[in-house]
Amino acid sequence: MSAYFIEKDRRARLASVLLVIALMTIISGLFYHQIIRYKSFLAQSEENRIRIRPIIPKRGVIFDRNKEMIADNRLSFTVSIVPMEMAKEVTLPRLAGLTGADTSAIKQKLNANFISKYIPAAVLRDQDISVISALEENSEHFPGVTYSVESVRRYVEGISAETFIGYIAEVAPDEIDKESQWGYRPGRLIGKKGIEKAYDRELRGIEGTDFIEVSARGQIIGTYGGRERVPAVPGADLVLTIDAALQREIVRFYDSLQSSGGVVALDPTTGEILALASFPGLDPNLFSGVIPDDVWRSIIDDPRHPLLNRPTSSMYPPGSTAKLLTAGAALEKGVLTPETMLRGCGGGMRFGNRVFKCWQEQGHGRLDLYHAVEQSCNVYFYQVGQILGLDAWNEFAVKSGFGRKSGIDISGELSGIAPSRAYYDKAFGQNRWSKLLILNIAIGQGEFIVTPLQLTQFYAGLANGGKVFKPHLLKEIRYPGKAIQKIEPSLSFTLPFANNTISVLSRSLELVVQGDRGTAKGLRNKYYTIAGKTGTAQNPHGKDHSWFVGYAPSNDPKILVCALVENAGHGSEVAAPLAGKIIKRYLLGDSTHNVIAHNVAESLVSE
Of the two residues 318 and 213, the one the predictor is more confident about is 318
Give the ranges where 267-377 is alpha helix by DSSP (H): 293-300, 310-313, 323-333, 369-375
Domain assignment present for residue 42? The answer is no
The Cα–Cα gap between 435 and 382 comes to 12
Residue 309's SS3 state is: coil
| pLDDT at residue 102, rounded to an integer | 82
- Give the pLDDT band (50/70/90) at residue 491: very high
Asked if pLDDT for residue 601 goes beyond 50, the answer is no
CA nearest to 439, candidates 567, 352, 328, 343: 352
Higher pLDDT, 109 or 578: 578
**Is 564 a domain residue?**
yes
pLDDT at 55 over 80: no
Tens of pLDDT along 338-349?
Answer: 999 999 999 999
Residue pair 580/237 in contact (Cβ under 8 Å)? The answer is no
Q: Mean pLDDT over residues 197-204, rounded?
A: 92
Shared-domain flag, residues 328 and 404: yes
Nearest to 55 by CA among 188, 225, 179: 188
Flag whether 509 is in a domain. yes
Residue 433 lies in a domain: yes
Same-domain check for residues 468 and 440: yes
Q: Is the pLDDT of residue 305 over 80?
A: yes
Distance CA 462, CA 160 (A): 28
Decide if 551 contacts 532 (C-beta within 8 A). Answer: yes
Least confident of 125-139, 368-382, 547-561, 570-584: 125-139
pLDDT of 257 above 90 = no
Which residues are bridge partners to 404 per DSSP? none
pLDDT surpasses 90 at 383:
yes
Q: Please tell me the predicted confidence (pLDDT) of residue 33.
A: 58
Q: Are residues 58 and 177 in the same domain?
A: yes
pLDDT given for residue 289 in this prediction: 65
Give per-residue pLDDT as tens, 530-572: 999 999 998 877 899 999 999 999 999 999 999 999 999 888 9
* Domain-embedded: residue 284: no
pLDDT value at residue 474: 97
The pLDDT of 433-458, averaged and rounded, is 95
Q: Which of 240, 263, 294 is the last residue of a domain?
A: 240
Based on the fold, state whether residues 213 and 186 are members of the same structural domain.
yes
260-272 per-position pLDDT tens digit: 999 999 999 999 9
Phi and psi dihedrals of 402, rounded to 5? -85, 150
Q: Which of 577, 536, 580, 585 is nearest to 257 (CA)?
A: 577
- Which of the four pLDDT bands, split at 50, 70 and 90, describes residue 605? very low
The span from the CA of 351 to the CA of 546, in Å, is 27
Cα separation, 282 vs 148, whole angstroms? 29
- Residue 590 within a domain: yes
Residue 379 has pLDDT above 80, yes or no: yes
Inform me whether the pLDDT recorded for 156 exceeds 70.
yes
Q: Are the C-beta atoms of residues 326 and 396 closer than 8 Å to each other?
A: no
Quick one: 601 and 531 in the same domain?
yes
Higher-pLDDT residue of 30 and 160 is 160
Q: Is 335 domain-assigned?
A: yes
Asked whether the predicted pLDDT for residue 226 surpasses 60, the reply is no
Whether residue 248 sits in one domain with residue 218: no
Question: Which tens digits make up the pLDDT trace of 11-28?
Answer: 767 777 777 777 777 776
- Identify the CA nearest to 373 among candidates 507, 508, 497, 501: 508
pLDDT band at 35 (very low <50, low <70, confident <90, very high): low
How many other C-beta atoms lie within 10 A of the C-beta of residue 105?
12
CB atoms within 10 A of CB 295: 10
- Residue 313 pLDDT: 94
Whether pLDDT at 409 is above 50: yes
Beta strands, E only, 136-232? 145-155, 167-170, 189-193, 208-214, 220-223
d(CA 151, CA 75): 5
- Return the percentage of the chain with pLDDT > 90, whole number: 54
Q: Is residue 599 very low, low, confident or very high in pLDDT (cuts 50, 70, 90)?
A: very low
In this structure, the answer to whether residues 179 and 253 fall within a common structural domain is: no
Residue with the bigger pLDDT between 36 and 535: it is: 535
**Integer CA distances (angstroms), 102 to 108, 110, 123, 197, 579, in order:** 10, 13, 11, 30, 50
Span 56-102, pLDDT tens digits: 788 999 999 999 999 998 887 888 888 877 777 778 888 888 888 88
Q: What is the pTM of this model?
A: 0.82
**CATH number for the domain harbouring residue 338:** 3.40.710.10
CA distances from residue 450 to 122, 209, 441, 445, 457 in whole angstroms, order as listed: 43, 49, 12, 10, 11
pLDDT at res. 238: 97
Q: What are the beta bridge partners of residue 222?
A: 213
Query: Which string of DSSP letters, residue by residue, matches 410-443?
Result: SS-----B---HHHHHHHH-TT-S-TTHHHHHHT
Structure confidence at residue 389 (pLDDT): 95
Question: Do residues 519 and 456 share a domain?
Answer: yes
pLDDT at 591 over 50: no
Separation CA 303–CA 210 (nearest Å): 48
131 and 268 part of one domain: no
Same domain for 456 and 588, yes or no, is yes
pLDDT exceeds cutoff 80 at 50: no
Domain that holds residue 7: 2-36
CA nearest 320: which of 118, 532, 574?
Answer: 532
Query: Mean of the pLDDT values across residues 423-447?
Result: 93
Specify the length of the chain in residues.
Answer: 607
- The angle formed by the CA atoms of residues 290, 296 and 297, to the nearest 5 degrees, is 150
**CB of 527 within 8 A of CB of 603?**
yes
Q: Flag the least confident range among 57-71, 168-182, 226-240, 408-422.
A: 168-182
Count the domains in the chain.
Answer: 3
Looking at the structure, tell me whether residues 212 and 143 fall in a common domain: yes
Residue 1 scores a pLDDT above 60: no
Q: Last residue of some domain: 188, 213, 240?
A: 240
**Residue 280 DSSP label:** S
Are 27 and 156 contained in the same domain? no
Q: What does the mean pLDDT of the chain come to?
A: 85
Q: Could you tell me if residue 349 is inside a domain?
A: yes
Mean pLDDT computed over 567-589: 93
CB 127 within 8 A of CB 147: yes
The type of residue at 228 is: E
